[in-house]
Amino acid sequence: MNEDYLKGLNPVQYNAVTKIDGPVLVIAGPGSGKTRVLTYRIAHLVNSGVAPWEILALTFTNKAAKEMKERIGKVAGDKANQIWAGTFHAIFARILRAEATKIGFPSDFSIYDPSDVKSCIAEIVKGQGFDPKAYGVSDIYHRISMAKNCLISPRDYAADAERLLDDKQANMPYVYKIYDLYIKKLQRSGAMDFDDLLFQMHRLLKENPDNVVEKYRKKFKYLLVDEFQDTNSLQYGIIQLLVKYPGSPQNICVVGDDAQSIYAFRGATIQNILDFEKDYPNLQVFKLEQNYRSTNYIVQAANDVISHNKKQIRKKIYTEKGEGEQIKVIRAVSDNEEARMVASMIAELKLRHRMKNEDFAILYRVNAQSRVFEESLKGHRIAYRIYGGLSFYERKEIKDLIGYLRVIVNPKDEEALKRIVNYPTRGIGDASLSKLSLAAEVNAIPLWEVLKKAVSFDNSISTRAAKSIQEFVMLIETFQRWLQTEDAYEMAKKAAKLSGILDDLAKDKTPEGQGRIENVQELLDGIKSFVEEDTIGELQTEVQDKTLSSYLQNIALVTDSDKDEDDNDRVKLMSVHAAKGLEFKAVFITGMEENLFPSLMALKSKDSRAAIDEERRLFYVAITRAEQHLVLTYASSRYRFGKMQYNNSSRFLEEISSDCMEIKSNNETAKVGGMKLPSQIKMPLKTTSSQAPIQIKVSPVHLIIPGAKVLHERFGEGKVMNVEGAPDNKIASIFFGGDIGEKRIMLKFAKLQVL
């Protein structure tokens, strides 16, 4: 057995890799080599004689699973391809494909994405006659999702007094009824949503203890879980069913960091990792505390911040990468100035340290903050990319073609069926479709069965519509016959052409129309690549399945962090949540203000202590993305929800030792060594505003002329230096002095008083 790979491990990593039997918890601080430990541990299992197909490794992204397999392959060779490694959703979907009939689903069940789910819920709300303004689709979706992730069925929900009271107070007392109808609709459509891949997996195991549970307990001798702090109650419940039973060797290894638990809003619970030792008394714990990513000032700041959280597994992260540069704290007058200062600093660092755009990340608490940074980066001609934009798979033309592919594989898929039945337009109007949908509801059968005999269900359907429906059914049935012999690419190519999608898109001769055709071609190219590759990546099976059904599962399980990869040299703009797991040479954490970071929602939460602790963990994650340069910025004022707000700096800034920081305000710099933070970033913990707008009496625009002295509600007293532009769009250059300097202000929107 070649053990050279073990020589590069530090002592704690070595012990975590080589202790292969019994329950193991690896607490992995940021930048501590977590992925290396996890992958080498799996490789060591294989090299120690464990059959690769007896290993189950669960991750949170397909990207992580792919990277894991690639690394294992370098140590263990081709055996890596036989390991069951993938996301919770991908692995459970694979098991459900094999076992779905035991819980009343077809093996080729569809997987509904969030837009499908919302469409489904909206239809139920409309069908029940509920007020759509009161019954917000997104809110209902969230409530149902949280219920599933807490293992609460529709029946349990209807008996849960606390949930019912919460729904009633939110003016939608019938969520329990919508939940029940939604579940029945999914079953009738032969479909599952993302939460069902967990919920139905748990149900499958609970309802089949003798055959299914026993089968997979025997199959998976060793179970590993990455990012364990992000698991919810449902995921942990499934893990427990597979691992914790009388006589079990309890060969489970979980890797994670409680200090990076930031997904409570998705149902993740930090208690899983905090209580793991109680569940497994014979547990061995290994703490990876050496940070290989960041310099000392950054690591010290992270330690300072997280030390304020009460519930945690104590550890002390350290680094041997040197002191590095102090953390810069920038105070700006406004959010626009904050963005300008960030863009200027990026340009300066690029010049001084010969850094590339891709070395920088601008992080923010909420996505709405991105706009001002986009504008400033454009002004400095700095290329950037926003994470979290419209995904390729969310574009209309892509969803239309995939809708056809979904119906070909599973004609009971009602959401996909409704999407394509009259696209391209074939004379099947909304009125006809509504009648047929109602017939499906009344008879409790799939819409597809109604379409096949449309006239017998409703003789008021027009002759033209009936003929169009018949032709549509024949088209789908023709595709289904080909499905038996054609691979995914041939099926998709035929569907794109014969459905009329390509002809319909070709009618639009604009650049946008051409772009939509190119997008469809890009999808077809991707399917061709899927068919021709030797493996199918993260979702590889023992038999390399190139069918359309397999392809649809593959793309349905792509996670947010796997989407729309772009290796171009661009500054990355993203929310702090999206930055988890990434690292950059230079990181700007922006909007460090009370009510923004920590968020107002956290401050007003029923359990504000727990909510603020999670915000602090989020800040900890943000800090630890930085390798060499870390900049924290905040603005004294910013527009939010259409109103000007005046802000105190975040309480989190006070929690960092002052000797770590260098304070900047515009171009003035003050060294901070062994002193309390300056007054501009000190703040009382419960204050919400430190200054109020100046009260002014707005003067007519024609009085604002060069030389006039004016008063501005934010910038105070200034002198008009110049006025230019057309009468309806005059712009004044006004010098306010001090840190503010000269501002260009459009007068029709300005609030100025001539003194």
CA distance 380 to 344: 8
Angle at the Cα of 204 from the Cα atoms of 207 and 226, rounded to 5 degrees: 130
Is 420 within 8 Å of 473 (Cβ atoms)?
A: no
Burial of 251 (0-12, 13-18, 19+ CB in 10 A): buried
Give me the residues paired with residue 255 across strands: 26
CA dihedral 358, 359, 362, 367 (to 10 degrees): 40
Residue 162 falls in the annotated catalytic set: no
Name the β-bridge partners of 331. 634, 665
Catalytic status, residue 226: yes
Phi and psi dihedrals of 246, rounded to 5? -55, 130
114-127 vs 175-189: helix crossing angle, rounded to 10: 120
End-to-end Cα spacing for the chain: 86
CA distance 537 to 530: 9
Distance separating alpha carbons of residues 397 and 41, to the nearest angstrom: 44
| Active-site residue (options: 18, 19, 35, 395) | 35
- For residue 618, what are its two tokens? 């989020």
Is 415 tagged catalytic? no
Is the separation of the CB atoms in 18 and 24 below 8 Å? no
**Residue 686 to residue 210: CA distance in whole angstroms:** 57
What are the start-end ranges of the H helices in 78-113?
88-99
Cα pseudo-dihedral 723, 724, 730, 731, rounded to 10: -70
Q: Per DSSP, which regions of 641-714 are E strands? A: 643-646, 661-665, 668-671, 709-712
Asked if residue 600 lies in contact with residue 641, where contact means CB atoms within 8 angstroms, the answer is no
CA distance 586 to 322: 16
CA distances to 301, 336, 600, 624, 696 from 751, in Å: 41, 17, 28, 42, 8
Q: Which of 116, 226, 335, 662 is catalytic?
A: 226
Catalytic choice (13, 61, 229, 260): 260
Residue 35 designated active-site: yes
Active-site residue, 625 included: yes
Q: Which DSSP category does 672 fall into? A: -
Please pick, among 34, 66, 71, 185, the residue that the annotation labels catalytic.
34
Kindly state the helix (H) or strand (E) to which residue 252 belongs, with its residue range.
Answer: strand 252-256
CA distances from 728 to 54, 85, 707, 725, 747 (A): 74, 63, 21, 8, 9
Q: Is 227 a catalytic residue?
A: yes
Using an 8 Å Cβ cutoff, are 359 and 365 in contact?
A: no
Q: Beta strands 24-28 and 252-256: pairing type? A: parallel
Distance CA 470, CA 426 (A): 11
Residue from 227, 230, 258, 538 carrying the catalytic annotation? 227
The catalytic residue among 79, 616, 617, 625 is 625
Q: How far is CA 191 from CA 8, 97, 206, 422, in A?
A: 47, 12, 20, 21
Which DSSP symbol is given to 107? Answer: T
In 548-686, beta strands by DSSP E: 571-575, 584-589, 626-640, 643-646, 661-665, 668-671
What DSSP element (H or E) covers 11? helix 11-18
Mind telling me the catalytic residues? 34-35, 226-227, 260, 625
